[in-house]
Structure 1
Amino acid sequence: MKIRAGICEIFGSWLAIAILVFILSGPGLAQMREVTQPQVEPPRVFIDCHQCDLTYIRSEITFVHFVRDRNEADIHVLITIQSTGDGGREYALNFIGRNNFYDIHNTLKYVSKRTDSADIERKGLVRVLKVGLVPYVAKTDLGDYLRIDFEKRLPPAPVEDPWKSWVFNLGLSGSLSGEESKHFLSMHSNFSANRVTDKIKFRTGLSGYYSSSVFKIEEDGVTSDITSIQKSFSLSSLYVLSLNEHWSVGGWLGLSSSTYNNLDFNLNPAPAIEYNFFPYSESTRRQLRILYRLGFNLNYYHEETVFDKTREALLGETLTVIFEMKEPWGNISSSLEGFHYFNDFKKNHLVLWTNLNLRLFRGFSISFSGRFSKINDQVYLAKGDLSLE
C-alpha cells in the first residue's frame, strides 16, 4: 500500500507540472504576449497643399500613412505659401491634430531662397515636415523606434544681397487678329519694383496699354472704316510701415491717364491705416483687416463730363474690410468696400465680393463666388451723344 501511495504521489506531481506547462504555453500566454506587443499602426496624414510635390513627399516620409481624404486623417497638415521680399517662398506648415492627437497643434515655417532649385526646395520642405510629425509619432508605440540625429553646423556666414531686397519685373505682351471686316491690335507693357522686409513693404508699378480696332461699315453702298483707339497709362506706388503685429500705416500715390475713362490726367495721393484682428504672422492662414484711406483726386478730362467739368479736385474716403481664411474644411475670401466723395455723398460706390470653397467629402468639393456692386461715382463720364466710334 505504501508503494502504491508513493507511485500515485509521484504521478500526481508530474501531472500537475504537465498541466502547468500546458497552461503557460497555451492561448492564455499568447494573449498576454499579444497585449504586451507594441501597436505599430502609424498615424494617418493628409497633406493640404496644391503646389507641393506630394509624390516626392510620400516617397521620402515612410513612417506615417498618407491618406487622400482629410476626414480619414489623424493629422491634417495645412500648408500655405507666400512670396518673400528676395524672390524666395515662405511655407507655413500648420499641423492640426485629430482623434488621439487632438491636443497637438503646431506651426512651423520653411523659407526657400530665390536661387534654390526645385529639388533643394522640396528637400527643405520634407525636412521641416519630418520635424513637425515627430510629436505625433512620439505619442504612439512607434516612438520607441525614433532616433534623434543632430547635425552640427557652423554659424551661417553673413549673406550679402547686392540688390538690397529689391525685386524687379518687366513684361511685354501683345496680340493681333484680323478678318475681312475688322482688324484688332493691342500691346501691353509693365514694369514693377518691390522691396519687402520685416518692417516695411514698398511696391511700385508702371504700365501702359494701347489698342486699335478697325471696322469696315457699309452704308448706302459706300464702305468706310471706323477706327477706335484706346490708350492708358498708370504709375502707382505703395509704402507700408508695420508698427506691430496688428497695426500698420502707409500711403498710396497714383498717376494715370485713360481715353476709355475720359481721363487726360489723374493724380491720387491717399494716406492709409490698417488694423488686422489676427497677428500678421498668421496672415498666410487667416486675416481680418480693416483698411481706411483718405484720398485726393485731381482730374483733368479729355472731354467735358456730364457734370459740366473739364477738370476738378475731389476729396473722398474709402473703408475696406477684407476677410480670408484657409482651414481643413476649405477656404473663404471676401471683401467689402465703400467709398464716397465729401462734396457729394450721393457720389459713392459699394462693392462686395466673396469666394467660398467647401470640401464636403473625399474627392468632392464645391465652390461659390459672387460679386455685387452699386456704382454712383463715375464723375468722368463724357457728355455727348453716342456714335459708332
Structure 2
Amino acid sequence: MRDRRDAQVHVLVTRERTAGGGQAFTLDFFGLEDFLGQDDQLMFFTTQDDTNDSERSGFAQIFQMGLIRYAARTPLADRIEISHRDLSGTRQELSAQPEDDPWNFWVFRARFNTQLQGEDLETAKEFGGSFSANRTTDAWKINLGINVDYDEDAFTLSDGRQLTDVSRNNSFTTRIIKTVGEHMGVGFGGSAVTTTFRNQDLTWRVAPAFQFNFFPYSESTRRELTATYSVGYNKFDYTELTIFDKLEEARANHSARFSLDTNQPWGDAGVSYEFSQFLDELSQSRQVLFGNIEYRLFRGFFLNVFGTLSRVRDQIFLKRGGVTDEQILLRRRALATDSEYRIRIGFTYAFGSIYNNVVNSRFDGASGGFIRMF
C-alpha cells in the first residue's frame, strides 16, 4: 500500500544506532478501520556483525509477530499456523550485564581510506582515517574520537604552470555524559582541531553542557523536544595573521540549541534553532535556523522540504589579506560572509498497481556508471 488510508494496519518503522554499532528498530503498529485504536509497539535489534540477509530475516520475523494479533481477528485466522524454532546456536540476548561482557560495554572502531584519481592535466589524492572508543549505558555515555583527513589537488594550467593545493583537517573529540532522570542529562566535553579551511593550526576547547528533554528519552524514536546549553573556553592558534591582527587568542563563549524532532504516521519533521556568542564581545555571534519535513499530502504524494539559514558574525579566524582566486574556486578556504542559506524543495508521486510484488533483477548488477548499456 502506498497510502495508509488504504490499509487496516499502518506500521511506522524508526531506527536508531546502538552503542555497539548495530541498529535498534522500533515498529509502531497503528490499527485502522476495523482495528482502530488497537495499537502496539515492538523492537528489533541488530549487531554490527549482522549481514544484510540476517537483518532482513530478523526484521521479517518481528514484523510477522506484530501482525499476528490483527490477522487473528480476520477470516484468515483459521489458516494461520504458529511454530516454535529451536534457538540453540542463534544470536543471544543483546542486552548484557557488565559481568557478562568482557569489553565492559566499550566499542572500538577504526577506519582508513585512500582515494587516488587523475587525468592528464589533473590529479587528486585523498587520505583519511579515524578511530573511536565509545561506552554507552543507561547511566553514562562516553565518546572518544580521532579523525585525520588530507586532500591534495594538482592542476596543469593552460600556460603550463603547475597549481597544487593541500587541505588538512584533523580533530580529537571527547565527551562524558551523565543521565539525570528520564528528562535530563549533564556532560563535559573537549576537543582539539587543526583545519586549513579555517586558518587554524590548533584550536582546543573545553565545555560543560546541560540538556533537558520535555519528553522522556525513552520516546526518542517518535519525538524529542530538547533544550541544550553550554559554556566553553577556547584557545586559538592561527596559521596566518587574522583580520583582527591575531596569531593566537583565548576566548570564552556560550551556546544554546532548541530542537524538535518527530516521526508520525503522516511523515517526519524536525526544526532547530542554535545560537552562539563570544562572552567578551557579544556582537560576535552566530544564529542558525534549520528545518526539514517529509509530509504525505494525499495518496502517493509526498512533499519534501529542507532548509537552513544562518546569521554569521563570528568569523574571527579569517586570514588577513583575503584568499587567492584558486582557493576560492577550489573552496579550500572559508570566505567572509554575513549569512548562509540552503533550501531544497521537492516532491515524489507514485501511482499505479499496488499488487505487483514481482522481483526481476535482470540488468540490475553493479556498475561504475560510465558506460551506457541502453
Which residue identity does 1:300 align to in structure 2? D
Paired with 2:66 and 2:120, the residues of 1 have a C-alpha distance of 64
Q: Is there any run of 5+ residues in structure 2 with no aligned partner, and where?
A: 327-374
Task: Quote the residue 1:280 is aligned against.
Answer: 217
Name the CA shift for 1:307/1:135 in 2 (closer, same or farther; >3 Å): same
Which residue identity does 1:92 align to in structure 2? T
User: What is the SS of the residue equivalent to 2:262?
Assistant: strand
Which residue identity does 2:42 align to in structure 1? L
Task: Quote the residue 2:134 is aligned against.
Answer: 194
> Contact conserved, 1:288 with 1:322, CA < 8 A, in 2?
yes
User: What is the SS of the residue equivalent to 1:249?
Assistant: strand
2:95 pairs with 1:161: no
Paired with 1:215 and 1:147, the residues of 2 have a C-alpha distance of 67
Q: Deviations over 1:56-95 (max 9, x none)?
A: xxxxxxxxxxx34211112111111222222332221111
Q: Deviations over 1:103-126 (max 9, x none)?
A: 222222222344455555444434
2:233 pairs with 1:293: no
Paired with 1:181 and 1:117, the residues of 2 have a C-alpha distance of 42
Shift of 1:196: 1.8
Paired with 1:370 and 1:381, the residues of 2 have a C-alpha distance of 26
Paired with 1:209 and 1:130, the residues of 2 have a C-alpha distance of 45
> Contact conserved, 1:226 with 1:388, CA < 8 A, in 2?
no
2:296 pairs with 1:356: no
2:310 pairs with 1:310: no
Task: Quote the residue 1:63 is aligned against.
Answer: none
Paired with 1:251 and 1:332, the residues of 2 have a C-alpha distance of 29
State how 1:175-194 maps to structure 2 within 5 Å.
175-194=115-134
Paired with 2:134 and 2:219, the residues of 1 have a C-alpha distance of 22
- Give TM-score scaled by structure 2 length: 0.76
Paired with 1:131 and 1:358, the residues of 2 have a C-alpha distance of 28
Task: Quote the residue 1:240 is aligned against.
Answer: 177
State how 1:321-336 maps to structure 2 within 5 Å.
321-336=258-273
Task: Quote the residue 1:88 is aligned against.
Answer: 22
Name the CA shift for 1:153/1:383 in 2 (closer, same or farther; >3 Å): closer
State how 1:33-48 maps to structure 2 within 5 Å.
none
Paired with 1:142 and 1:300, the residues of 2 have a C-alpha distance of 71
Percent sequence identity is: 33
Task: Quote the residue 1:69 is aligned against.
Answer: 3
Which residue identity does 1:91 align to in structure 2? F
Name the CA shift for 1:244/1:148 in 2 (closer, same or farther; >3 Å): farther
User: What is the SS of the residue equivalent to 1:128?
Assistant: helix
User: What is the SS of the residue equivalent to 2:240?
Assistant: coil
> Contact conserved, 1:167 with 1:194, CA < 8 A, in 2?
yes
User: What is the SS of the residue equivalent to 1:132?
Assistant: helix
Q: Decide which of 259, 262, 265 is 2:196's aligned counterpart.
A: 259
> Contact conserved, 1:276 with 1:290, CA < 8 A, in 2?
yes
Paired with 2:119 and 2:87, the residues of 1 have a C-alpha distance of 66
Shift of 1:256: 0.8
Name the CA shift for 1:231/1:145 in 2 (closer, same or farther; >3 Å): closer
Paired with 2:200 and 2:154, the residues of 1 have a C-alpha distance of 23
Q: Decide which of 117, 120, 128 is 2:62's aligned counterpart.
A: 128
User: What is the SS of the residue equivalent to 2:281?
Assistant: coil
My pick for the range that moved more, 191-200 or 348-357, is: 191-200
Q: Decide which of 138, 145, 158 is 1:205's aligned counterpart.
A: 145
> Contact conserved, 1:79 with 1:92, CA < 8 A, in 2?
yes
Which residue identity does 2:281 align to in structure 1? D
> Contact conserved, 1:355 with 1:367, CA < 8 A, in 2?
yes
Paired with 2:219 and 2:290, the residues of 1 have a C-alpha distance of 22
Q: Deviations over 1:110-155 (max 9, x none)?
A: 223444555554444344334433443455566677788889999x
Paired with 2:33 and 2:188, the residues of 1 have a C-alpha distance of 47
What RMSD, in angstroms, separates the aligned Cα atoms of the two structures? 2.9
Q: Is there any run of 5+ residues in structure 1 with no aligned partner, and where?
A: 1-66
Paired with 1:281 and 1:317, the residues of 2 have a C-alpha distance of 28
Mark the structure with the bigger radius of gyration: 1
Number of aligned residue pairs: give it: 319
Paired with 2:219 and 2:24, the residues of 1 have a C-alpha distance of 12
